[in-house]
Amino acid sequence: MNFSISRPPGTWWAQVVARTATLAWSIAIVALITPWSGAAVAQNAQDQVLLDMRDAFRKGNRRVLQTNLPHTQGHLLAPLAAYWDARLGLETASNTDIRAFLQRWEGTYYEDRLRNDWLALLGARRDWSTFLNVLPGYRMNDDRQVRCHTLHAQHATGQRLAATEVEEAQRLWLGQKEAEEACAPLIERLMSDKLVEAEVAWTRARQGAEYNRPRVVSQAVDMINPDWVSTASATQSQPEKYLDEKLTAIRHRTKELVTLALVRLAATNPSLAAEHMARARWRVQLTAEEKSAVWGAIGRAAAMGLRGEAIAWFAKGRAADMTADQLGWWVRAALRAGQWESVVKAIAAMPDSERQQPVWVYWHARALQALKTPDHAAQSRELYQGIANPHHFYGQLALEELEQSIVTPPSPAPLSAAEKRAALNNPGLQRALKAIAIGLRTEGVREWNYTTNLHTPSGMADRELLAAADLACQHEVWDRCINTSERTTREADHQQRYPMPHRAPLVKHTQAIGLDPAYVYGLIRQESRFITDARSHVGASGLMQVMPATAKWTAKKIGLTGFQPHQITDRDTNIAIGTGYLKLVLDDFEGSMPMAAAAYNAGPSRPRQWRAPGGSGPVLEGAIWAENIPFSETRDYVKRVLANTTNYAALLTGQPQSLKTRMGQVGPRTGIHDPVNTDLP
């Protein structure tokens, strides 16, 4: 059926009802042809019932859910409504009732979603027999907790784990940020059965100490010796006191607990931790591995503070005993200091999975070039070729090292009518678009991702992903358009990956104030994925994710009279304020795109701290400066915005582009009296 998207919903509804035989199919078609527009909510009663049920689910009000559930029969999102009810009743439901739900909604995302929740509950209850019976139907396979429960179930029921599975269990536990109750019991069981050494638990405890997660420390130490937990807590809350050699009354001053105290101290005061490490007592007491863990923590803290001592402190430990994060900061400190030998040494010590990341492949190649090692030209070229592509920051830099400009790749073959029809008729995509259209964005995004995920039976190959992305683009669901298109591996459509909604007003406005429209598009793509009513958890709003205070300040600064806070999600107002602020920031940072992007994300005061004042300090190439940004979110943000910008410039101009030129160089301010907009919010 070919309906014009300009017709009002009522007209579509009448036509669909007239042309279809069932209510369910008519709702599906209406969902698919209704364009999504921010916070728009469909005008039929069933949609409102779904929104009411969403609110009840969030509040844990199952009575409202059960009252409204019958009214969702025949609705395209009936599986979602049923899931909300089943999820709130999961802990008290019988296995028979849960299986009935799974059978009723077989093949849908919500069948697998509830199975995931049920497996997590069964694992927590240690009901291994039922767990293993339910597991074969689980398709999602992306939940670390469930995977740990799976390994636990196998081991507990006599299926001896292979060495690779034991290693996987350790990796899963060490990869968890916070203390949790799925992987930890598995490790504790494996420790009890002599399959995992206590050193793994100490490694986990040191992670908690370095990242200020005291519950992680306590959980790990409890596995080793419950009597040491209170002392371990003291090493975190008062590390200096614990390390005070004059306080002989302190119990359990073991080398492992001393290491925990030194690691915690390193995170807050690396200089003082280094002084402690110079003391003979600790040098003798600690093993080489423990001393390396402490020096790694000291070096990491110093490197994040952009301190010159970082490299010397790293060098006091053994690289092989340091974590991947510590080694990453060793590389960053070495890049900042121009010490390419240290770059090679630290990257060589990384685990294979980390060393093969594009960021470290690129810097390894650069180091080989700088050191002019034997065969460096061939080795570095091979490394560059392995990551060179226009799709990400280091891929673009690698292209330029290979003396290739960044251009828009050729478009894939046009989608056929059959390929488009398959996407249009996909039930999961239909439900996702419907959910997003009525304001259930989170739920819609989850179902969309599940439907397009390669690890599910309905997972998609490149052409299917391109068709799904095209469907999202046609409905102006830009975030799913971009994210789905980005997942192709062999065929890339840059028009999908880098869409340009609102092109005419945005280009006109940016040119009027002297901003590169490609830069603004690159920033918006990262900020909001072109969702006009996007709102972050901290209150930033609209296409350019402007904070309320920033909006008020900027509106006054650029002469936008009569501005009211509620106008911030209006497209043109948001663009005017966002671009106005970006221009002020860019001017303040002397035209440096990476510094202005960092300021837009983290506030202008921080990038000022990340460059040396008063004419002292090194002048760094922009990529090295960006790699040394202490905040991982801002570091990633700057890279993505500038890579986006380069691709948008290629699309807008049709000309080859250079990321290196946009990154430029970042050095200290030319003088301490240079003007600074200190009131920039």
Q: Compute the distance between CA of residue 297 and CA of residue 268 in angstroms, rounded to an integer.
A: 10
Could you tell me the two tokens for 601? 């994300």
Which ranges of 516-672 does DSSP label H, i.e. alpha helix?
517-527, 548-557, 571-588, 593-602, 605-609, 622-627, 632-653, 659-663
Closest C-alpha among 26, 44, 20, 28 to residue 430:
28
> How far from chain centre, in Å, is Cα 315?
31
Dihedral of CA 468/473/479/485: which sign? positive
Helix (H) or strand (E) holding 621: strand 620-621
Q: Compute the distance between CA of residue 431 and CA of residue 194 in angstroms, rounded to an integer.
A: 49
Could you tell me the two tokens for 630? 């202490």
Residues 6+ apart with CB under 8 A from 14: none
Could you tell me the two tokens for 356? 């093969």
Measured in degrees and rounded to the nearest 5, phi and psi for residue 476 equal 60, 30
> Cα dihedral angle (390, 391, 395, 399), rounded to 10 degrees?
-10
Catalytic residue (one of 527, 590, 627, 633): 527
- Pairing state of beta strands 620-621 and 665-666? antiparallel
Closest C-alpha among 269, 167, 257 to residue 218:
257
589: which DSSP letter? T
DSSP-assigned states of every residue in 410-434? PPPPPPPHHHHHHHHT-HHHHHHHH
The answer to whether 270 and 277 are in contact (CB under 8 A) is no
603 conformational bin, left if phi > 0, alpha if psi -120 to 50, beta if neither? left
Residues 6+ apart with CB under 8 A from 219: 179, 184, 204, 208
Q: Compute the distance between CA of residue 345 and CA of residue 349 in angstroms, rounded to an integer.
A: 7
Side chain identity, residue 422: A
Helices 503-513 and 517-527: angle between axes, nearest 10 degrees: 120
Residues 6+ apart with CB under 8 A from 300: 210, 266, 310, 325, 326, 329, 330
Closest C-alpha among 104, 72, 50 to residue 443:
50
Helix (H) or strand (E) holding 666: strand 665-666
R_g over Cα of the chain = 28
309 annotated active-site:
no
Q: Compute the distance between CA of residue 373 and CA of residue 379 in angstroms, rounded to an integer.
A: 9
Dihedral of CA 376/377/380/383: which sign? negative
Q: Compute the distance between CA of residue 391 and CA of residue 387 in angstroms, rounded to an integer.
A: 10
225-231: long-range contacts at Cβ-Cβ below 8 A with a sequence spacing of 24 or more? 227/252, 228/252, 228/254, 228/257, 231/257
606-613: long-range contacts at Cβ-Cβ below 8 A with a sequence spacing of 24 or more? 606/631, 606/634, 608/676, 610/306, 611/666, 611/667, 611/668, 611/669, 612/667, 612/668, 613/668, 613/669, 613/672
Residues in the chain: 681
- The residues facing 546 across adjacent strands are 541
User: Which residues are designated catalytic?
Assistant: 527
